[in-house]
Amino acid sequence: MAKFERIVILTGAGISAESGIDTFRDAGGLWERHRVEDVATPEGFARNPDLVLGFYDARRAALESVEPNAAHRALARLEAEFTGDLLLVTQNVDNLHERGGSKDVLHMHGELSSALCTSCEMRSPLDVPLLDRPKCPVCQAPTLRPDVVWFGEMPYRMERIYEALGTCDLFVSIGTSGAVYPAAGFVQEALMNGARTLELNLEPSEGSRFFTESRHGRAGEIVPQWVEEVLEG
């Protein structure tokens, strides 16, 4: 790999698959067992809050029995050793990047371990079931919802992401199907701004043609390999 100075990395559910977290669109994935409209939209939450709170409580509880894998750890090593600028953006709501050692992770779709108060709009760390209707630590109202971005809502920190996409010299997409915008459009944005683009995924994603280079395989193998190459220069 040529030498790069400003790298933006986007990760998706595929990077956590080998840790035992279900992806969304693969066979047996989350969206085969749950209707998106029911559990991942503001309308679904308004219709049946208990169903939605229970769905995210179960996903948060499941994090306790999984561990980060070699791909998460490799990206943490890259953060620690890369001398240029690095922005790690994840669509994942799990905490495996952090537990793998990454210090600075931009969760554009929110986090399971955070709650958002629908009364005062403040965020707070979450480690109890939302179905128990805990009080917001800021305003004391029992009106917490998962701090995750649902379909129809605006992903977090888009300004920061587009700023980095405008100046990066390498954009890397890892373990994402490229089915959900705006994240699916990041590759074109980076390409348009002159960056090289690299896809590391089990199979070609929907936007595969926009990548200068594609490597297909399991994240736990191909991500550490790529990190090694970047750090060797």
Question: How many residues sit in the footprint of ligand OAD (CB under 6 A)?
Answer: 26
Q: Within the chain, where are the H helices?
A: 14-17, 30-33, 36-39, 42-47, 49-62, 70-81, 96-99, 158-167, 186-192, 219-232
Residue span binding ligand OAD (CB under 6 A) among the ranges 10-18, 73-81, 120-128, 135-143: 10-18
Give yes or no for a contact between 232 and 217, defined as CB atoms under 8 angstroms apart. no
| Angle of CA points 26, 29, 33, to nearest 5° | 140
Chain positions 83 to 112 lying near ligand OAD, rule: CB under 6 A, are 91, 109
146 binds ligand OAD (CB under 6 A): no
Instruction: Find the catalytic residue in 72, 97, 107, 109.
Output: 109
13 binds ligand OAD (CB under 6 A): yes
177 binds ligand OAD (CB under 6 A): yes
109 part of the active site? yes
Give the number of other Cβ atoms within 10 Å of residue 177's Cβ. Answer: 21
229 vs 79: CA distance, rounded Å: 14
Could you list the active site residues? 109
Residues that bind ligand OAD (CB under 6 A): 12-14, 17-18, 23-26, 29, 40, 91, 109, 149, 151, 175-177, 179-180, 201-203, 205, 218-219
